[in-house]
């Protein structure tokens, strides 16, 4: 690379590094960088259980509606995912207690936050944990409950900051620009 091309290339690289979340590199192999917090979003609307539902999801993430009516967004070449579905009208606390009980005994799983209160439209809560599958890399999972909706993000632990930004945007009520 000649000097004339090196300066713009280095400037572009520094710009990318300044805006991306730091990656956790375990070795010197080429690793994908951590999911950045400065993603662009789009509104996606689908019909589930007779109602139109909308969510703000990252642009470029593929979209599918499961047979249960849950929306899933997958981040292309990354193992990151965003999902939204119907939680139901019941009280949130017993649902969370049941979910945490089902997770108990899972090797290398650490519950970080488990809180919830209310029922129906007044429910709110969160379940956050990290898990390392045998022979795999650490994963971050975060569920957010708002009313009768459930939002979830999951991905590499190195992507936690970006995943939290995705969850904040997705669970906001149309406040994303």
- Split at pLDDT 50, 70, 90, the class of 3 is very low
Residue 21 backbone phi and psi in degrees, to 5: -70, 150
> In the chain, how many H helices and how many E strands?
3, 9
Residue 8 inside a domain? The answer is no
Eight-class DSSP state of 135: T
CA dihedral 130, 128, 22, 33 (to 10 degrees): 70
Establish if 25 belongs to a structural domain: no
pTM greater than 0.95 (yes/no): no
Whether the per-residue pLDDT at 9 is higher than 50: the answer is no
- Note the pLDDT tens digit of each residue in 60-107: 999 999 888 889 999 988 889 999 988 888 899 999 999 999 999 999
Which residue in 104, 158, 159 sits closest to 127, CA to CA?
Answer: 104
Handedness of CA 128, 82, 161, 106 (dihedral sign): positive
- Is 29 a member of any domain? no
Q: Which parts of 59-146 are beta strand (E)?
A: 62-65, 71-74, 81-86, 109-117, 124-131, 139-146
Is residue 54 in a domain?
Answer: yes
Q: 136: domain CATH number? A: 3.40.1000.10
For residues 157 and 79, what is the distance between their CA atoms, to the nearest angstrom? 11
Structure confidence at residue 16 (pLDDT) = 32
Domain count, the chain: 1
Q: Which residues lie across from 142 on neighbouring strands?
A: 128, 153
Parent domain of 74: 35-171
């Amino acid at each position: 690379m000649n000097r004339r091309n090196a300066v713009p290339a280095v400037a572009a690289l520094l710009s990318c590094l300044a805006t991306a979340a730091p990656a956790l590199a375990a070795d010197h192999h080429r690793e994908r960088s951590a999911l950045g917090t400065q993603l662009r979003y789009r509104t996606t609307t689908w019909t589930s259980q007779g109602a139109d539902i909308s969510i703000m999801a990252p642009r470029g993430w593929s979209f599918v509606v499961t047979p249960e009516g849950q929306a899933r967004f997958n981040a292309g070449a990354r193992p990151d995912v965003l999902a939204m579905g119907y939680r139901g009208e019941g009280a949130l606390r017993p649902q969370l207690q049941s979910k945490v009980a089902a997770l108990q005994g899972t090797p290398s799983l650490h519950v970080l936050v488990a809180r919830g209160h209310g029922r129906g439209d007044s429910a709110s809560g969160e379940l956050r944990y990290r898990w390392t599958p045998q022979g795999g890399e650490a994963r971050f999972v975060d569920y957010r409950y708002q009313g009768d909706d459930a939002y979830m993000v999951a991905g590499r632990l190195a992507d936690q900051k970006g995943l939290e930004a995705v969850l904040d945007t997705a669970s906001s009520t149309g406040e994303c620009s």
